[in-house]
Amino acid sequence: MTTHAWRREPHGGGGLAARLNWLRAGVLGANDGIVSTAAVVVGVAGATASTGAIATAGAAAAVGGAVSMALGEYVSVSSQRDSERSLIELERRELEDDPEGELEELAGIYERQGISPETARQAAAELTERDALAAHLAAELGIDQDDVVSPWHAALASAVAFSIGAALPMLAILLPPPASRVAITFVVTLLALSLTGYVAAWIGGGSRARAAVRVVVGGALALAATFLIGNLLGRSGVVV
């Protein structure tokens, strides 16, 4: 009977779970775009009233952040994909080397889930006859060999989500009159963060109010810090 160094629990409704994970990743990516871009533009606005300087800094933050998010997601998901492929190949070799032992292992998994020994053995035999590799991957590792994650899709989704989030503070800082642009950006950013925090908690099943407050407080601190630093630099004459 084989023991793997790493396992994932079997799961049901994998399609729904995967879609929720993608949605949650998109919400968090948008949240990062909102916070990081808003902090940059508010900081620059604290130092100078130049719309060109604010727009340039915001665009650089939005593009650089999106690329960074995409690269990070690509590397992370590539590692996950390589691990999944390695586990699939390992399971394939084990089935070739010890099919009877693997059959007993599969029946044992079903027994531990509450199925009677006779039924577990019958189910394992029938699933093995149909597609032994798929049965073992699903029961032992929660992997679908036809649904291995794509790093390119993850990278694109991350970049798009970040860019959507970054667009909000950019519009909030550039469209209003200079006298009110910082205040409006604060309000718009914090409202958007409360929404992303709420949605992320709803997807994850956590406390929505607590998550929204946590994200809003963190965002407010980031904006206040960058605005203060920018304002100090502007008053000192370092930024013209």
Q: How far apart are CA 174 and CA 56, in angstroms?
A: 11
Within-domain flag for 37: yes
Within-domain flag for 11: no
Q: Residue 42: its pLDDT value, please? A: 96
The total number of structural domains in the chain stands at 1
Within-domain flag for 35: yes
Share of the chain above pLDDT 70, in %: 88
Q: How far apart are CA 133 and CA 137, in angstroms?
A: 6
Within-domain flag for 3: no
Within-domain flag for 238: no
213 CB-near residues (< 8 Å, 6+ apart): 194, 197
Task: Kindly tell me if the per-residue pLDDT of 8 is higher than 60.
Answer: no
Tokens of 35: 């916070």
Half-sphere exposure of 84 (CA within 13 A, CB side): 19
Within-domain flag for 1: no
On the 0-12 / 13-18 / 19+ scale of CB atoms within 10 A, 44 is buried
Q: How far apart are CA 237 and CA 156, in angstroms?
A: 41
Residue 57 and residue 44 in contact, taking contact as beta carbons nearer than 8 Å: yes
Q: Residue 89: its pLDDT value, please? A: 86
Cβ neighbour number for residue 227 with a 10 Å cutoff: 21
Q: How far apart are CA 92 and CA 9, in angstroms?
A: 19
Mean pLDDT of the chain: 85
Q: Which pLDDT band holds residue 12 (cuts at 50, 70, 90)? A: very low
Tokens of 200: 């992320």
For residues 110-125, average pLDDT? 87
Find the radius of gyration of the CA atoms of the chain: 25
Range of the domain at 187: 19-233
Q: Which of 33-47, 141-155, 188-202 has the highest mean pLDDT?
A: 33-47
Q: Which pLDDT band holds residue 9 (cuts at 50, 70, 90)? A: very low
Q: Residue 3: its pLDDT value, please? A: 40
Within-domain flag for 5: no
Q: Which pLDDT band holds residue 16 (cuts at 50, 70, 90)? A: low
Look up residue 137 and give its amino acid. Answer: L
Characterize 1-37 residue by residue with b for buried, 16 or more Cβ atoms within 10 angstroms of its Cβ, and e for exposed. Answer: eeeeeeeeeeeeeeeeeeeeeebbbbbbbbbbbbbbb
Q: Which pLDDT band holds residue 85 (cuts at 50, 70, 90)? A: confident
The values of phi and psi at residue 148, to 5°, are -70, 135
For residues 61-81, average pLDDT? 90
Share of the chain above pLDDT 90, in %: 42
Q: Residue 239: its pLDDT value, please? A: 66
Within-domain flag for 239: no
For 131-166, write each residue's pLDDT tens digit.
Answer: 888 888 888 777 776 666 678 888 888 899 999 999
For 214-233, write each residue's pLDDT tens digit.
Answer: 999 999 999 999 999 999 99
Cβ neighbour number for residue 238 with a 10 Å cutoff: 9
Residue 199 and residue 207 in contact, taking contact as beta carbons nearer than 8 Å: no
